């Protein structure tokens, strides 16, 4: 009885609060990350030489350095040069920039795998470069890149837990506080784990649906 009361009055509200913070972290990060990824991916394939080099450097840096280190740089490091970010802002900035770098890899791969004939045909119809990229190339590339980008979003859901390490109290942080107060580490972290499992599974389901919705003959992916 006492247990139940504890769950109702302490655990449930705390987890719910943490869950909302997690969602608030994940959604903008995912959207910004995708936008960055698409832009950078396009620049890495169709940009001028210096632009291409800059984009490649960005990706190498943000994929090569652990996300924890990046978050620490944004939150604990920037004050060194007089820039102060809230934990939440630093987390979203870190997530978006990092996942953007990963997304761009898939976008780039997809763009490169589109046959030259597609572009020749568009050019022969009088498309200019930007038109061609947006109305012929990207619609094909996004379908090819979707499984990879989808995976990236699932990674993002899991990595959002790292916001706890720069003191942004989301789901994992709430769990840590609850567990330290009650000493019920196993139970609490199993519950937290279950929350993440639900989030990642639901995301996988939605992404699978989206893939089905966008499916065209010839663009199938063989899921293994």
Residues making contact with other proteins (CB under 8 A): 60-61, 64-70, 72-73, 76-81, 158-162, 164-165, 172, 175-176, 179, 185-190, 192-193, 196-197, 200-201, 224
Q: Nearer to other proteins by C-beta: 18 or 41? A: 18
96-116: b or e for each residue (b if 16 or more CB lie within 10 Å)? bbbbbbbbbbbbbebbeebee
* Shortest Å, Cβ 197 to other proteins: 4
* Shortest Å, Cβ 131 to other proteins: 31
Q: Nearer to other proteins by C-beta: 113 or 123? A: 113
If we measure between CA atoms, which residue out of 113, 73, 128 comes closest to residue 97? Answer: 73
* Shortest Å, Cβ 193 to other proteins: 4
Q: Nearer to other proteins by C-beta: 43 or 105? A: 105
185-202: b or e for each residue (b if 16 or more CB lie within 10 Å)? eeebeebbeebbeebeee
* Shortest Å, Cβ 32 to other proteins: 20
Task: Give the SS3 label for residue 82.
Answer: coil
If we measure between CA atoms, which residue out of 131, 147, 149, 137 comes closest to residue 112? Answer: 137
Q: Nearer to other proteins by C-beta: 39 or 114? A: 114
């Amino acid at each position: 009885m006492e247990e139940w009361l504890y769950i109702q009055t302490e655990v449930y509200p705390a987890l719910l609060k943490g869950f909302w913070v997690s969602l608030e972290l994940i959604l903008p990060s995912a959207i910004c990350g995708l936008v960055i990824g698409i832009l950078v991916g396009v620049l890495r394939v169709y940009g001028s030489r210096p632009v291409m080099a800059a984009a490649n450097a960005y990706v190498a840096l943000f994929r090569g350095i652990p996300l924890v280190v990046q978050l620490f740089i944004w939150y604990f490091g920037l004050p060194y040069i007089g820039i102060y970010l809230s934990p939440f802002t630093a987390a979203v900035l870190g997530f978006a920039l990092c996942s953007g770098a990963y997304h761009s890899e898939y976008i780039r791969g997809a763009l490169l795998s589109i046959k030259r004939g597609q572009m020749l045909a568009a050019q022969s119809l009088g498309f200019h470069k930007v038109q061609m990229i947006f109305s012929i190339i990207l619609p094909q590339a996004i379908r090819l890149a979707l499984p990879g980008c989808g995976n990236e979003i699932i990674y993002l859901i899991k990595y959002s837990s790292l916001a706890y390490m720069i003191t942004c109290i989301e789901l994992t942080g709430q769990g840590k506080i609850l567990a330290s107060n009650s000493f019920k580490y196993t139970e609490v972290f199993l519950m937290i784990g279950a929350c993440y499992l639900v989030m990642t599974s639901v995301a996988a389901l939605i992404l699978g649906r989206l893939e089905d919705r966008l499916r065209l003959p010839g663009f199938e992916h063989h899921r293994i």
